[in-house]
């Protein structure tokens, strides 16, 4: 991973915020209201929904990390997505990926049902998407790269070039990589959003979001809407999220080192049908990943050979991975998209999006990777070898050779 000034910024931004005592950690301001300095003389803040020091330090830090002009911290990632739709009128179309985050898909299509905007759906991994952008002339093109759960990539620079040529803005959900590994604004993207719930906070204890804009003007418009509709984030959440950001770069480094080792291990495992990880040369968009990302991230998906029952056995046999949705925390999570994150999709649409019944997604944590691989190995053994499952003779290692990575 390329180290740059981002790491220093993530650690230090806002450290000089306390003018009274010089507290190194910016103090937590819970007050909902602020006194006026004099008649008709507002200080920096007047009311907590409109502005709060903790939220502002977090917004400023995230805007700088993404290379944007303005950051707006929202109560959740979905609030950030929702905020972006405020720039659309009923005549405007938002062009979205066919495999976008389920919550975003549900939001966009429900707003369309109420006549608030129009939605068009494309597959951004197909070259035909560029003609579709030109033909549809959307107001906003929405991308998510890598996508969930099979980690397909979208060529950010190309989408930006074509979208801007027809006057469309481009919004990118950068949740899966975090600003440590991908900066869409550097490719001309107009709006970046994050569910800060994931890698940015990184400790699975805050739900939050952020919108970052390339221009100050668009940032002011969206900040006005955020206050207007009342979706700004809570001070304590901002305080904790900033604490999470202090270690973002070191966490990400470990997440992806572990994810790389696990994906290589899975690739050699005879019970695995397919591994999805952009860092593998077998990934169809490996070169694009190298070109537009600073690293490959901590998410790995794979399908196992067998049935849904085998998949269930495997998922309940792992001990170092918690069977849970979400991602980006220091602890490893394992999930079955077909019955969990993607359960709301119609089966045909689900299969088309690459989510079959034996697909497993892992959010690789920062534990010792030897423990994680040993755990996957024993879960494979329990799944494949029924004797072991019944507490009988221990089978030999299920996968012949581990890659020599350590
Ligand atoms: C989790 C997630 C969201 C929604 O964020 P919340 O914080 O849960 O509201 C949006 N996009 C992606 C890619 C996500 O993973």
- Cα distance from N-terminal residue to C-terminal residue, the chain: 18
* Helix ranges restricted to H, 154-215: 156-165
Alpha-carbon distance values, 285 to 162, 268, 280, 296 (Å)? 20, 20, 9, 11
| Nearest Cα residue to 191 out of 84, 343, 265 | 84
- Clarify whether residues 201 and 256 are in a common domain: no
Q: Which DSSP string do the residues of 54-72 spell out, in sequence order?
A: HHHHHHHHHHHHHT-SEEE
Which range has the worst mean pLDDT, 164-178, 199-213, 226-240, 373-387?
373-387
pLDDT for the residue numbered 345: 79
Mean pLDDT of 255-267: 98
Atom index in ligand 1 nearest the CA of residue 208 equals 7
pLDDT digits (tens, 9 = 90+) for 116-173: 999 999 999 999 999 999 999 999 999 999 999 999 999 999 999 999 999 999 999 9
Is residue 210 pLDDT above 90, yes or no? Answer: yes
What residues make up the domain containing 133? 6-245
DSSP character at residue 395:
P
Atom index in ligand 1 nearest the CA of residue 175 equals 13
CA 173 / ligand 1 centre spacing (Å): 9
Does a structural domain hold residue 89? Answer: yes
Is there a cis peptide before residue 149, judged by omega within 30 degrees of 0?
A: yes
pLDDT for the residue numbered 354: 87
The confidence band for 398, taking pLDDT boundaries of 50, 70 and 90, is: low
The confidence band for 3, taking pLDDT boundaries of 50, 70 and 90, is: very low
CA 405 / ligand 1 centre spacing (Å): 33
Continuous segment of H or E residues that includes residue 322? strand 322-323
Share of the chain above pLDDT 90, in %: 88
- Clarify whether residues 17 and 69 are in a common domain: yes
* Edge-to-edge strands, sheet with 322-323: 272-276, 299-304, 359-363, 333-335, 322-323
Is residue 65 pLDDT above 90, yes or no? Answer: yes
Residue of 62, 75, 78 to mutate, ligand 1, most atoms within 8 A of C-beta? 78
From 219, 245, 271, the end of a domain falls on 245
CA 208 / ligand 1 centre spacing (Å): 9
Residue 173 Cβ contacting ligand 1 at under 6 Å: yes
- Clarify whether residues 114 and 181 are in a common domain: yes
- Clarify whether residues 22 and 136 are in a common domain: yes
Q: Are 66 and 191 in contact (CB under 8 A)?
A: no
Does a structural domain hold residue 301? Answer: yes
* Edge-to-edge strands, sheet with 209-213: 70-74, 209-213, 191-195, 169-173, 140-144, 93-97, 118-122
Residue 175 Cβ contacting ligand 1 at under 6 Å: yes
pLDDT for the residue numbered 118: 98
CA-nearest residue, atom 7 of ligand 1: 77
Burial class of 28 by CB neighbour count within 10 A (0 to 12, 13 to 18, 19+): middle
Atom index in ligand 1 nearest the CA of residue 196 equals 7
Is there a cis peptide before residue 224, judged by omega within 30 degrees of 0?
A: no
The two structure tokens encoding residue 155: 């060529």
pLDDT for the residue numbered 386: 56
- Clarify whether residues 214 and 72 are in a common domain: yes
pTM for the full model?
Answer: 0.94
Is residue 273 pLDDT above 80, yes or no? Answer: yes
- Clarify whether residues 334 and 224 are in a common domain: no
Give the chain's mean pLDDT: 93
* Active-site amino acid positions: 49, 101, 173, 198
Atom index in ligand 1 nearest the CA of residue 78 equals 9
- Clarify whether residues 231 and 285 are in a common domain: no
Atom index in ligand 1 nearest the CA of residue 81 equals 10
**Rounded Cα–Cα distance for residues 59 and 54 (Å):** 9
**Rounded Cα–Cα distance for residues 145 and 293 (Å):** 10
Total number of domains constituting the chain:
2
Alpha-carbon distance values, 323 to 202, 318, 357, 379 (Å)? 17, 9, 16, 13
Is residue 389 pLDDT above 80, yes or no? Answer: no
Query: Which CATH number goes with the domain that contains 350?
Result: 3.90.1150.10
Share of the chain above pLDDT 70, in %: 94
CA-nearest residue, atom 4 of ligand 1: 77
Does a structural domain hold residue 405? Answer: no
Is residue 1 pLDDT above 80, yes or no? Answer: no
Does a structural domain hold residue 406? Answer: no
CA-nearest residue, atom 2 of ligand 1: 195
pLDDT for the residue numbered 349: 81
- Clarify whether residues 124 and 210 are in a common domain: yes
Is residue 194 pLDDT above 70, yes or no? Answer: yes
Is residue 385 pLDDT above 80, yes or no? Answer: no
Between these two residues, 396 and 255, which has the higher pLDDT value? 255
Give me the residue label for tokens 């600073």. 294
Residue 233 Cβ contacting ligand 1 at under 6 Å: no
Does a structural domain hold residue 1? Answer: no
Q: Are 197 and 17 in contact (CB under 8 A)?
A: no
Residue of 97, 101, 203 to mutate, ligand 1, most atoms within 8 A of C-beta? 101
The confidence band for 405, taking pLDDT boundaries of 50, 70 and 90, is: very low
Residue 78 Cβ contacting ligand 1 at under 6 Å: yes
- Clarify whether residues 316 and 226 are in a common domain: no
Residue 192 Cβ contacting ligand 1 at under 6 Å: no
Which range has the worst mean pLDDT, 2-11, 303-312, 314-323, 365-374?
2-11
Residue 209 Cβ contacting ligand 1 at under 6 Å: yes
Which range has the worst mean pLDDT, 168-182, 196-210, 310-324, 341-355?
341-355
From 210, 245, 280, the end of a domain falls on 245
Does a structural domain hold residue 84? Answer: yes
- Clarify whether residues 29 and 169 are in a common domain: yes
From 228, 245, 262, the end of a domain falls on 245
In the structure, how many helices (H) and strands (E) does the chain have?
A: 14, 12
Does a structural domain hold residue 69? Answer: yes
- Clarify whether residues 91 and 75 are in a common domain: yes
Query: Which CATH number goes with the domain that contains 169?
Result: 3.40.640.10
Considering Cα of 283, then 287, then 288, then 289, what sign does the dihedral take? positive
The 10 Å Cβ neighbour count of residue 22 is 9
- Clarify whether residues 96 and 12 are in a common domain: yes
Does a structural domain hold residue 144? Answer: yes
Is residue 335 pLDDT above 70, yes or no? Answer: yes
Residue 77 Cβ contacting ligand 1 at under 6 Å: yes
CA-nearest residue, atom 8 of ligand 1: 77
**Rounded Cα–Cα distance for residues 121 and 98 (Å):** 6
């Amino acid at each position: 991973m390329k180290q740059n000034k981002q790491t220093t910024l993530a650690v230090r931004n806002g450290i000089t915020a306390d003018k009274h005592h010089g507290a190194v950690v910016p103090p937590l301001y819970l007050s909902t209201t602020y006194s006026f300095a004099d008649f008709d003389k507002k200080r920096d803040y007047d009311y907590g929904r409109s502005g709060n020091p903790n939220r502002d330090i977090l917004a400023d830090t995230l805007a700088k990390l993404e290379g944007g002009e303005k950051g707006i911290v929202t109560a959740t990632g979905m609030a950030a997505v929702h905020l972006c739709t405020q720039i659309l009128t009923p005549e405007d179309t938002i062009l979205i990926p066919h495999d976008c985050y389920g919550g975003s898909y549900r939001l966009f299509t429900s707003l369309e049902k109420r006549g608030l905007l129009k939605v068009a759906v494309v597959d951004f991994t197909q070259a035909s998407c560029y003609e579709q952008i030109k033909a549809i002339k959307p107001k906003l093109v929405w991308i998510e790269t890598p996508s969930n759960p099979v980690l397909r990539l979208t060529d950010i620079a190309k989408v930006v070039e074509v979208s801007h040529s027809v006057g469309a803005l481009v919004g990118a959900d950068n949740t899966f990589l975090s600003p440590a590994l991908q900066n869409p604004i550097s490719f001309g993207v107009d709006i970046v959003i994050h569910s800060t719930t994931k890698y940015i906070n990184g400790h699975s204890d805050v739900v939050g979001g952020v919108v970052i804009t390339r221009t100050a003007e668009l940032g002011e418009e969206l900040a006005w809407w955020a206050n207007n509709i009342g979706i700004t984030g809570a001070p304590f959440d901002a305080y904790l999220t900033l604490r999470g950001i202090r270690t973002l770069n070191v966490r990400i480094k470990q997440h992806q080192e572990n994810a790389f080792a696990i994906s290589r291990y899975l690739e050699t495992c005879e019970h695995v049908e397919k591994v999805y990880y952009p860092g593998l040369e077998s990934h169809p968009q490996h070169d694009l990943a190298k070109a537009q990302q600073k690293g490959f991230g901590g998410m790995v998906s794979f399908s196992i050979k067998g049935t849904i029952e085998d998949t269930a056995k495997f998922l309940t046999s792992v001990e170092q991975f918690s069977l849970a949705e979400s991602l980006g925390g220091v602890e490893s999570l394992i999930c079955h998209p077909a019955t969990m994150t993607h359960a709301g999709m119609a089966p045909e649409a689900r299969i088309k999006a690459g989510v079959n019944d034996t697909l497993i997604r892992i959010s690789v944590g920062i534990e010792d990777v030897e423990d994680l691989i040993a755990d996957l190995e024993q879960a494979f053994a329990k799944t494949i070898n029924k004797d072991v499952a019944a507490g009988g003779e221990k089978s030999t290692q299920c996968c012949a050779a581990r890659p020599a990575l350590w």
